[in-house]
């Protein structure tokens, strides 16, 4: 690494994360400045620093663990000793395929907050900080402004203490989408793509490995006065795009979402929620119990044509075989595992092994 005498006239760029994005930023922003490159991986860090040195950049390197305040503080102090800290860029981060949930929270959440807090002490007037994140931070619904402010100004160690108190326990999730969410070709989805995004959110929840329940409510607050009884359907077969698909009150949706979080009978289940005439049920475990859980080996909900398993429908297939010419219909292969759309349509028509209904 090149020698450079520290001084107040030296502008320092701190790049945390020596991967592809960090190196691209270092090359772009580091010309004529001193680069302080930091990473947790010492081998990667040494290689990256050598590349910058060969390219005639002034560079120093330091190992850092962004989940440790002491480590980040030492990095900030070294940056200040090199000159005026003008830019701090954090590209460090881990994802679910790289680390368990506790490490993701420690690096991506706590680490980002600690970097801002520690470099606030040393950043020069006119300096700037940048956190490189991902679109995942914008995939959920926006929080109310007061909650956004609380999160922005909450001390990082306070957030860490809460997480440690929780013990990084597995979080039970209840996701609400909508009835008809699997309808891709309707006018509503063609103009808004709302069903596409909701369906993606369902798949992300199923792929997360976290325990979940996915509720697809019908049309809000169109209930008649005597429609208190909850009806849970599977297969997402009601796709008229109006209240004829089914109606449900908002307070009924809340009841189901809340009770699903504490019911083992609702675990890993996806269903449509509507209301019918009759008294309200009190035993929600009994309401959830008849439903079938989503298959373990798919990202789609139970009872849609994509997950309508051949092993569950031998009798349905026998019925279909008598209705279709042999050249038209072939038995699903082991790799397919599911009936084709035409077969699913005929399953519905013949009413063989119809999707279950919880009452």
- 55 pLDDT band, cuts 50/70/90, is very high
Compute the CA torsion angle 56, 60, 64, 70 (nearest 10 deg).
-150
- 336 pLDDT band, cuts 50/70/90, is very low
What is the secondary structure of 97-148 as a DSSP string?
A: TTS-HHHHIIIIIIIHHHHHHHHTTTEEEEEEEEE---GGGGSSPPPPHHHH
Helix axes 69-82, 112-119, angle to 10 degrees: 40
Domains and CATH numbers, the chain: 11-166 (3.40.50.720), 173-288 (3.40.50.720), 308-353 (no CATH)
Closest CA to 16 of 118, 92, 82, 74: 92
Range 350-353 contact pairs with CB under 8 angstroms and sequence separation of 24 or more: 350/316, 350/319, 350/320, 350/323, 352/313, 352/315, 352/316, 352/319, 353/312, 353/313, 353/315, 353/316
- 321 pLDDT band, cuts 50/70/90, is very low
Residue 288 token pair: 């959830």
Closest CA to 90 of 32, 39, 154, 56: 39
Closest CA to 252 of 217, 211, 287: 217
Q: Is the pLDDT of residue 325 over 50?
A: no
Q: Is the pLDDT of residue 324 over 50?
A: no
How confident is the model over 100-110, as pLDDT tens digits? 877 887 888 88
- The CA–CA distances, whole Å, from 102 to 90, 135, 160, 201 equal 19, 20, 10, 22
How confident is the model at residue 305, as a pLDDT?
53
> 23 or 323, which is more confident?
23
Q: Is the pLDDT of residue 1 over 50?
A: no
Q: What is the mean pLDDT of the segment spanning 47-67? A: 96
Which segment, 70-79, 141-150, 177-186, 288-297, is predicted with the most confidence on average? 70-79
Q: What is the mean pLDDT of the segment spanning 1-22? A: 79
> 329 or 128, which is more confident?
128
How confident is the model at residue 348, as a pLDDT?
39
How confident is the model at residue 128, as a pLDDT?
94
> 306 or 237, which is more confident?
237
How confident is the model at residue 140, as a pLDDT?
56
| Residues 55, 59, 61: CA angle, nearest 5 degrees | 125
Q: Is the pLDDT of residue 306 over 60?
A: no
**DSSP secondary structure letter of residue 225:** T
How confident is the model at residue 164, as a pLDDT?
63
- Residue 174 makes CB contacts below 8 A (sequence gap 6+) with 212, 213, 215, 257, 258, 260, 261
Query: What is the overall mean pLDDT for the chain?
Result: 80
How confident is the model at residue 287, as a pLDDT?
96
How confident is the model at residue 302, as a pLDDT?
79
- Residue 356 makes CB contacts below 8 A (sequence gap 6+) with 234, 290, 291, 292, 303
Q: Is the pLDDT of residue 185 over 70?
A: yes
- The CA–CA distances, whole Å, from 138 to 113, 135, 177, 258 equal 18, 5, 17, 24
How confident is the model at residue 200, as a pLDDT?
84
CB 119 within 8 A of CB 38: no
How confident is the model over 202-252, as pLDDT tens digits? 888 887 777 999 999 999 988 898 999 999 999 999 989 889 999 999 999
């Amino acid at each position: 690494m090149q020698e450079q005498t520290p001084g107040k006239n030296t502008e320092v760029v701190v790049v945390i994360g020596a991967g592809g994005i960090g190196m691209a930023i270092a090359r772009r922003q580091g010309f004529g400045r001193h680069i302080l490159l930091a990473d947790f991986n010492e081998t990667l860090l040494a290689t990256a620093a050598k590349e910058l040195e060969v390219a005639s950049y002034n560079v120093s390197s330091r190992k850092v663990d962004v989940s440790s305040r002491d480590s980040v503080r030492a990095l900030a102090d070294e940056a200040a000793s090199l000159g005026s800290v003008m830019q701090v860029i954090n590209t460090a981060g881990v994802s679910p395929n790289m680390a368990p949930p506790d490490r993701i929270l420690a690096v991506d959440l706590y680490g980002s907050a600690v970097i801002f807090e520690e470099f606030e002490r040393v950043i020069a007037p006119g300096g700037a900080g940048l956190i490189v994140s991902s679109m995942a931070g914008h995939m959920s619904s926006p929080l109310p402004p007061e909650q956004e402010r609380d999160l922005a100004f909450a001390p990082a160690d306070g957030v860490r203490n809460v997480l440690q108190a929780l013990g990084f326990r597995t979080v039970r999730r209840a996701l609400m989408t909508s009835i008809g969410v699997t309808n891709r070709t309707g006018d509503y989805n063609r103009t808004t793509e709302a069903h596409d995004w909701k369906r993606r959110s369902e798949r992300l929840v199923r792929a997360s490995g976290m325990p979940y329940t996915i509720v697809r409510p019908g049309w809000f607050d169109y209930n008649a006065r005597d429609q208190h009884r909850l009806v849970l359907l599977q297969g997402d077969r009601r796709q008229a795009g109006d209240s004829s698909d089914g109606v449900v009150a908002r307070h009924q949706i809340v009841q189901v979402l809340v009770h699903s979080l504490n019911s083992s009978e609702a675990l890993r289940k996806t269903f449509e929620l509507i209301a019918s005439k009759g008294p309200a049920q009190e035993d929600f475990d009994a309401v959830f119990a008849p439903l079938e859980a989503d298959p373990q080996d798919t990202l789609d909900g139970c009872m849609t044509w994509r997950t309508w398993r051949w092993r569950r429908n031998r009798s349905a297939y026998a019925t279909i075989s008598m209705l279709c010419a042999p050249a038209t219909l072939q038995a699903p292969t082991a790799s397919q595992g599911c009936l084709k759309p035409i077969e699913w349509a005929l399953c519905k028509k013949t009413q063989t092994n119809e999707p279950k209904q919880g009452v």
